[in-house]
Amino acid sequence: MSRRVPLFLNNQCIDSDSQETIPVTNPATGQIISDVPCTTPSEMEQAVADAKTAFQSWRNVAVPERSRLMLRYQALLKEHHDELAEILSQETGKVFEDAKGDVWRGIEVVEQAANVAPMLMGESVENVAAGIDTVSYVQPLGVCAGITPFNFPAMIPLWMFPLAIACGNTFILKPSEQDPHAPMRLAELFREAGAPDGVLQVVHGAKEQVDTLLTHDDIKSVSFVGSVRVGQHVYRTATDHLKRAQCFAGAKNHMVVMPDANKQQVINNIVGASVGAAGQRCMAISVVLLVGEARQWLPEIRDALAKVRPGAWDDKDAAYGPVISPQARQRVLDLIAQGKTEGAQCLLDGSDCTVEGYPNGNWVGPTLFSGVTPEMTIYKEEIFGPVLCCMEVDSFDEALAVVNNSPYGNGTSIFTDSGAIARRYRHEVEVGQVGINIPIPVPLPFFSFTGWKGSFYGDQHAYGKQAVRFYTETKTVTSRWFEPSVQAGGPNMTINLK
């Protein structure tokens, strides 16, 4: 019998009154793990009201004390690291090592939240005019909200609420309805670290609950990670309602392989970057551009991918797990079939993949296409599965043009031994995150996650200094202090700058 996922309101796990639920299934077995409720309108209203009330006191808590909360939280996350990874594995299907990486990358952001004080420092100039000084202060916004996807249920919530709360805001998290258990455990550990009532709230549901967060007058900012279609809806709706929004949407990440690159290193990196996490990463390499003689490496790339096999979360020999749902699997299979129909050569087909002992799992085997062109659906669509498209080009300039013509700009990489080529690629490519001989260039959290073009809607990116700017306002104060005795002046409002 499945258990019902609670809400997390005012530091308590609360049973929702909702009669509408969504089943949470194990992607490897198809079995229902639990039912997640669609939070009722009154419960949504209560979550916002409690967060608004908590903000009035939390904003005045000293910055060092907020940082100490994050230090305690970081320690608890490390202590419960493997527990969180196991919870995450069973609801996402990720193999255990991959799940541990998901948790760890979130912990790294909490470490930055613990060091928030230097990023909250304002600026000052003495004597901007005679006897007049100007100083700026960084202050929190109020109630912030985050809507997170299924593929990183620990890391992406930890991208959001620790920094927002460390800046003095309160936060409402709406995790993916497909894997809510890891985010709920994150909230429980935050309470254990000493978070005050109402500072973090967790609600569940689907579009209705998301739209409430996007339109509620008392919510000041919205962070979102997910698909292009939903990301555009979130951005337009939030900004139409005068909220700040940062929306991380689709991706189609290219790896350029020059013929002077180390072939074995290239092949090893292609395998992990394309099918790792079943390809369900917004930074996965989904297109490889083989330049010149590097196109001769295709048979070896195929052979390397053919050795990779999916499996259950606790199978130490499995490279990756199932995709998240039967619907996601069918979408991947439909795109594979369409690629064949449109003329791409399927050198390795994972459509009929099975895993012994798990007949109902959402399995897709490694799949490799060659002869892919930009007009094909498998090139234009974000497949979000273990499918790699290979394109063969004659020159570096041709490869660069393909990448720059893509509507997406999340991540890219180039493998080469030429410093001149690497520098030119880094300078000219129209993508926000670039790896040189590194396949997935996700920056550590003292930088920011900086996707471009159709991969991001908004002005300030996730984590790092940009996130602090996103979650704060700047107040500028200009002041002058008079001597005890001054002569009366006229009604002149002009400051003498001489």
Query: Rounded distance, CA 55 to CA 65, Å?
Result: 15
Q: How far is CA 163 from CA 41, 107, 169, 237, 241, in A?
A: 27, 12, 9, 24, 23
**Contact call for residues 186 and 84 (beta carbons, < 8 A):** yes
Other beta carbons within 10 Å of 234? 27
SS3 sequence, 273-336?
HHHHHHHCCCCCEEEEEEEHHHHHHHHHHHHHHHCCCECCCCCCCCCECCCCCHHHHHHHHHHH
Active site residue ranges: 282
